[in-house]
Structure 1
Amino acid sequence: MDILLGLVTKCLPCIPDISTPYVSINNNKYQIIKLLGEGGFSYVYLVAQKSNKNALYALKKIRCPFGATDETFRNAMKEVRNYHRFANSKTPYIIQTIDETVIDEKDGSKTIYILLPYFQKSLQDIINSNVLNNEDFEEDEILRIFVGICRGLQVMHKYKKSGGRPISEEGEEEDDLLLNGSDDDDISASAGTELQELTPFAHRDIKPANVMLSAEGLPVLVDLGSCSRARFSIKSRQQALALTDFAQEHCTLPYRAPELLDVATNSEITESTDVWSLGCLLYCCCFGFSPFEKLEIEQGASLNLAIAQGKYALPEDKKGYSDGLLNLIKECLNLDNTKRPTVDELLEKALGLSNRS
């Protein structure tokens, strides 16, 4: 079960402490039921509210050995800010934190607890089940899920800063990807009032494992630890290398946009990286693998080379999917990021296909 909702760090693993059956978060107690997953110093538990054992949640525990100076701490706080950032949209398509707290430990370290909704299945779980059982999604179901994901990304891609304050005044240096301490204005795609008003964010790691299905069947975007400002003008090789390193750590390779493989100096990085990932996700919904994983499995191709060249193919067996649906994949997987459709355009086309069926 894929319920890892967030943080990939560069820290060495440690042994989770579950000797205490209850965890207190802002005076609310939760009983630890089991460990769901782990990564680095991050652990995700299934917990139940002490006063209501039927109320289940996912509790992320993040150990930060070096306190506030720890990179793990900065990443975790960035993740929490992202939950809050999109909360005002009240969209059901982006996960929101329920509660969180930071504990100052006696040894100077910090422990962060983030209480999140508990989802039983991810889109990847369903795709895996389809592959194992030789089953396929109905096109209507694929479109329904795709439309929901697009609605979630719409909120990120059209995010506006409140009050028009400069980014540097809002403590958002983490969203500059820490490009070797570069000043925010040096790496912005544009400057001035417009940037302060409209500041698109990109998820950066769109893939089936990061789309959970709610009890109502709605797709929910999770893992906001990789989410950051979408638009960057890369003006130096140092910035290019920093963004390449970020992508290697946070953006899953089979779904990574080609412009993030080896970021070029004087390039423009935008929210279109998410659109490429959407194309890979849509292909995976249809055929069980991302397009470049499929090429690697069948032909032993290098993932990096295949992605860089945009080299993929639709299977001979189209499984009855319409040309309209398959064309959405092709439009997303355009090597030229300036020619990829926007999420608004994808949403309009997907709704049009849904209405025809």
Structure 2
Amino acid sequence: MNALGLSMIVKMGCICTRESVDVNGVKYVVKERLGEGGFSTVDLIENKGTKRKYALKRILCHSLEDQKVAMDEISYYKKLRHPNIIELVDSTFKGTADIVVNATSEAYIVLPYYRRGTLQDYLTLRSFNRNYLDVKEVLRLFSEISQAVKYLHDFAPEPVAHRDLKAGNVCLTEDMTPVLMDLGSCAPAKVQVCGAQDAQKLQDLAAERCSMTYRAPELFHVESYCVIDQRTDIWSLGCLLFALCYFKSPYDLVYERGDSVNLAVISGSVHFPEDTPFDEDVHDLILFMLKVNPSERPFIDSVIDKTRHLQNKIESVV
């Protein structure tokens, strides 16, 4: 057999052996890998019957504790219902986690697929030509994301904090509606820290699950006796609004320079570009959220009110 014939067989073999997955009796074909993190992978999958595409998040669980974390994530997908928060399509577990016999399980979470990708993807494309968004579009996107955050923070019986708000965790629909995703970092908003052990545990968890360049100062160095609340998300929203204006979090820029993000966050230093197309009111809204002391940081209702006031001001000028 010549090399060309062998090559064709290899290629055909790759097509024929494309992975299939079954989630509660529904069969899907894995099309391509969309993303990969420390704890999970995300694949593009296609329903064999309807040919509709979805995203499949797989979380490998090495212990019962890992499995509980995955179950908590699925629980948040099921109970959080808002137009700007991603919906759960289906979920299941494969295998059983048991640390004693060194077995693993895997959580399968089927989610909608957004062809446009994430807000960070969109901002990165625009950044190549420094193609700034119009201020109205910036505030529209930010306002809708803030409504999703308000829903979390007002959730009953217990408020929820996302804890990893960032441009990379916001998907965009075909009509440019922002949809908050990745609920794996969600947790009860209020955490009572009682002692050094509690503080270290929360600090380690934040380092594991909260992206450094969007992480609130109080999660870098957790005090031994304190209360952490939903205002960690407000800091992240401030970084996100900066990214809507300038394509990245202010602390992404620090990280890229090789400087200490930790020190920059703790100092609260924020540098706006000199050739900015955005006026002082937008910068004031960003700084309103980026207060190092969480007790001086606003709650989400104040952020929404200030955003609405700015939108009305811009509309009246036009």
Q: Give the conservation status (yes or no) of the 8 Å contact 2:251–2:264.
A: yes
Q: Give the conservation status (yes or no) of the 8 Å contact 2:78–2:88.
A: yes
Please state how far the C-alpha of 1:156 moved relative to its aligned partner.
0.7
Deviation per residue, 1:125-160 (Å, 9 max, x gap): 111111112211111111111011101001110111
Q: Give the conservation status (yes or no) of the 8 Å contact 1:61–1:114.
A: yes
Check if 1:269 corresponds to 2:267.
no
Counterpart in the other structure of 1:328: 285
Q: Distance in 2 between matches of 1:85 and 1:268?
A: 25
Alignment of 1:103-118 (within 5 A): 103-104=94-95, 108-118=103-113
Q: Distance in 2 between matches of 1:119 and 1:154?
A: 23
Counterpart in the other structure of 2:273: 315
Paired-residue identity, %: 37
Q: Residue 215 of structure 1 aligns to a residue in which SS? A: coil
* RMSD, aligned CA: 2.0
Q: Residue 174 of structure 2 aligns to a residue in which SS? A: coil
Match of 2:28 among 2, 21, 30: 30
Structure 1: any 5+ residue segments left out of the alignment? 1-17, 162-198
Q: Distance in 2 between matches of 1:223 and 1:261?
A: 21
Counterpart in the other structure of 1:301: 259
How many residues are aligned here? 294
Q: Residue 234 of structure 1 aligns to a residue in which SS? A: strand
Q: Distance in 2 between matches of 1:19 and 1:230?
A: 45
Alignment of 1:26-105 (within 5 A): 26-40=24-38, 42-53=40-51, 55-66=52-63, 69=64, 71-87=65-81, 91-104=82-95
Counterpart in the other structure of 1:159: 155
Q: Distance in 2 between matches of 1:105 and 1:245?
A: 26
Cα gap change, 1:147 to 1:119, in 2 (>3 Å): same
Q: Report the more deviating stretch, 210-219 or 242-251.
A: 210-219
Q: Tell me the TM-score normalised to structure 2 length.
A: 0.87
Higher relative contact order (CA 8 A, sep 6+): 1
Please state how far the C-alpha of 1:202 moved relative to its aligned partner.
0.6
Larger radius of gyration: 2
Counterpart in the other structure of 2:305: 348
Q: Distance in 2 between matches of 1:160 and 1:109?
A: 34
Please state how far the C-alpha of 1:38 moved relative to its aligned partner.
2.1
Q: Distance in 2 between matches of 1:35 and 1:242?
A: 32
Please state how far the C-alpha of 1:61 moved relative to its aligned partner.
2.2
Please state how far the C-alpha of 1:293 moved relative to its aligned partner.
2.8
Q: Give the conservation status (yes or no) of the 8 Å contact 1:94–1:152.
A: yes
User: Which amino acid in structure 1 is aligned with residue 267 of structure 2?
Assistant: Q
Q: Give the conservation status (yes or no) of the 8 Å contact 1:44–1:60.
A: yes
Q: Distance in 1 between matches of 2:96 and 2:235?
A: 42
Cα gap change, 1:50 to 1:297, in 2 (>3 Å): closer
Deviation per residue, 1:168-193 (Å, 9 max, x gap): xxxxxxxxxxxxxxxxxxxxxxxxxx
Q: Give the conservation status (yes or no) of the 8 Å contact 1:324–1:353.
A: yes
Please state how far the C-alpha of 1:104 moved relative to its aligned partner.
2.7
Q: Distance in 1 between matches of 2:251 and 2:62?
A: 38
Please state how far the C-alpha of 1:223 moved relative to its aligned partner.
0.9
Q: Give the conservation status (yes or no) of the 8 Å contact 1:212–1:220.
A: yes
Q: Residue 62 of structure 1 aligns to a residue in which SS? A: strand
User: Which amino acid in structure 2 is aligned with residue 220 of structure 1?
Assistant: V
Please state how far the C-alpha of 1:72 moved relative to its aligned partner.
2.7
Structure 2: any 5+ residue segments left out of the alignment? 1-15
Q: Tell me the TM-score normalised to structure 1 length.
A: 0.78
